[in-house]
Amino acid sequence: MNLAPASNEWVLKPRVSRDPALRLFCFPHAGGGASLYNSWTDDLPPSIEVCPVQLPGRENLRQRAPYSQLWPLIDELLSVLREYLNLPFAFYGHSMGALVGFELTRRLRQLLLPQPSHLFVSSYCAPQLAQRTTTLHELPDAEFLLRVQELQGIPEAVLANAELIELFSPLLRADFALCESYTYSHAKPLECAISSFGGTDDKRISAEELAAWRVQTCSGFKMRLFPGNHFFLQSSKHLLLRVIRQELRATLRRSPRAG
């Protein structure tokens, strides 16, 4: 068996598989936590071990300050995840999580460490596109929350709770700062396949921005739109997981199991 520790503060396993064939590490959106992915085990087989990755500033790590810059977060993720990379694995990242998964993959390659067999990115524009000039994280609180709400950047469950909004705002601001301060650097395409996903009613990310992920891989690429807005992964969860399950099964058929 290739077993890693059952869990730690960063890698939370809603279901620990006895002998998994592949680990799926899931990175949350801006303001979101790892619990978003807890129910994914209901739609994925035991051979795929779902590993939601918690980031500082939320849920069980809420006492830690959230990162407002990407690269220190990537460095800490490298330290945390290294012991879990003894099996084939894939990354899924939603919105900000897509950027985290992408740059973490590039850093793993730079350090000659194991890389994911598949990278799933959803609701995030291809990183090589011109950087957005807006810096929402610098706006006053009321305007910041209004602009983010207009961009479908706050889940409806949070919007309905004033106390949650108050707790949510500093974390969301730090996460937006992380994304808005990011500068893309050119590098050769990744060796892993990439699937980019989006919502048909997303006001923030266009189909063209999702399709532009194609240049980031020299392997297979697929793009797919699902019914829903920026948070389609909740409204179209079962359809999304059916597609992910199919892709990962194909990945396992092509890749010999790590020994």
Span 210-245, pLDDT tens digits: 999 999 999 999 999 999 999 999 999 999 999 999
Residue 95 falls in the annotated catalytic set: yes
Calculate mean pLDDT across residues 180-203: 95
CA distance 190 to 80: 22
CA distance 258 to 256: 6
Q: Are 235 and 200 in contact (CB under 8 A)?
A: no
CA distance 183 to 165: 29
Per-residue pLDDT band at 152 (split at 50, 70, 90): low
* pTM of the predicted model over 0.95: no
**Active-site pick, 68, 95, 169, 196:** 95
Per-residue pLDDT band at 110 (split at 50, 70, 90): very high
- In the block, tokens 């808005």 appear at 180
**CATH architecture, domain 22-129+187-252:** 3-Layer(aba) Sandwich (3.40)
For the sheet with 118-122, list strands across it.
Answer: 48-52, 22-27, 89-94, 118-122, 193-199, 221-226
Q: Are 26 and 37 in contact (CB under 8 A)?
A: yes
What residue type is 103 in one-letter code? E
CA distance 33 to 258: 30
Rama region for 143: left / alpha / beta (φ>0; ψ in -120 to 50; rest): alpha
Element (H, E) at 198: strand 193-199
Enumerate the domain spans of the chain: 22-129+187-252
